[in-house]
Structure 1
Amino acid sequence: MGRGTFKYETTIDAPLSEVWDFFKSAENLTVITSFPRIKLHSDSSTIEGNHIEMELNFGVVQKKWTAKILEVKEEEYFIDKGVKIPFPFIEWEHRHQFDSDGSRTKMTDIVNYQASIPNLFVTLVLRQMFSGRKKVLVKKFTSK
């Protein structure tokens, strides 16, 4: 029903190497994502070929999500693709782009998706999720 590209930018007050180190482990998704709550059930390494298995907790409903790390370019980007993804998504590919901006890092999330609900609803959900992550990241790296 819906197919699109969602883009979200976050500026983090920390050097690229520090931000990259944080994102080298999918375990940190559990730190930065407040909804849905995430529990990892696999190796959390952000390395090419790794399958990241997660359980998403929506309160009364839990859903499984498996993503494969397709490509990693150290301190530049990594791409994950949904292998087993829950409703409403049919396809999911997420590029995590990192760019140095002096002593700060610009992180750009680009999600290409297909969903069984209209784009408007997908955009609202993704904007809420990524803005929640942004708040946690800004707070985490500012408090150092």
Structure 2
Amino acid sequence: MKLSLYTPVAAPLLAVWEGFDEALFKKLSPPFPPVRLVRFDGSYTGDLVALELNFFLFKQTWISRIADQQETGDEIYFIDEGIKLPFFLAFWRHKHRLLRQKSGGTLIADEIEYRTPFLLTDYLMYPLLYAQFAYRQPIYKRIFS
């Protein structure tokens, strides 16, 4: 299943890229489930990010590896791939794209591909994941205004 969200921000490309750090990651975490950041190496190839999701009655570990990171004059991107996922996900690939805009701003693109253990739950997860990533849009706008 694929999901994409796009957020235009006023800040220039390099400023947005420099802002993609641990502090931003923490601000982007939605209120539910509460997330504890266990490890954040960064956004370069080989880096790891480990999370603990707290569903109150149980906790789940999520570990992603940065599989690729590239920079050109007009785009910077990195891809995180799930290597240990919560039980409700079977596959995770998230491409974070930062695209230079002619206006001088940046377009932040979240391009996600995921699978759950069952096709039906792929569709049931879509609105939940959409809401999780839509939550980020006003945060991006506020931070990169």
- Output the CA distance in 2 between the equivalents of 1:99 and 1:6: 18
* Preserved CA contact (<8 Å) 1:26 1:46: no
Deviations 1:68-114 (A, max 9, x none): 00001135100010000103110001111110113211111111111
Write out per-residue CA displacement over residues 109-139 of structure 1, whole angstroms, 9 at most, x where no aligned residue: 1111111353332210111011111111112
Residues 22 and 37 of structure 1: CA distance in aligned 2, closer, same or farther (over 3 Å) = farther
* Among candidates 32, 43, 46, match of residue 43 of structure 2: 46
Aligned equivalent of 2:82: 82
**Contact conserved, 1:29 with 1:38, CA < 8 A, in 2?**
no
Match of 2:125 in 1: 122
**Is the aligned partner of 1:97 residue 2:97?**
yes
Change (3 A) 1:58 1:37: same
- Relative to the length of structure 2, the TM-score reads 0.85
Q: Return the alpha-carbon distance in structure 1 between the equivalents of residues 40 and 99 of structure 2.
A: 26
* % identical aligned pairs: 27
Distance change (3 Å), C-alpha of 1:14 and 1:125: same
The alignment's C-alpha RMSD in Å is 1.7
1:134 to 1:99, Cα distance in 2 relative to 1, 3 A: same
Determine the structure 2 residue equivalent to 1:13.
Answer: 10
TM-score normalised to structure 1 length = 0.86
Measure how far apart 1:26 and its partner are. Answer: 4.2
Alpha-carbon distance in structure 2 between the residues aligned to 1:62 and 1:27: 23
* 4+ residue runs over 6 A deviation: none
Alignment of 1:58-73 (within 5 A): 58-73=55-70
What's 1:57 paired with?
54
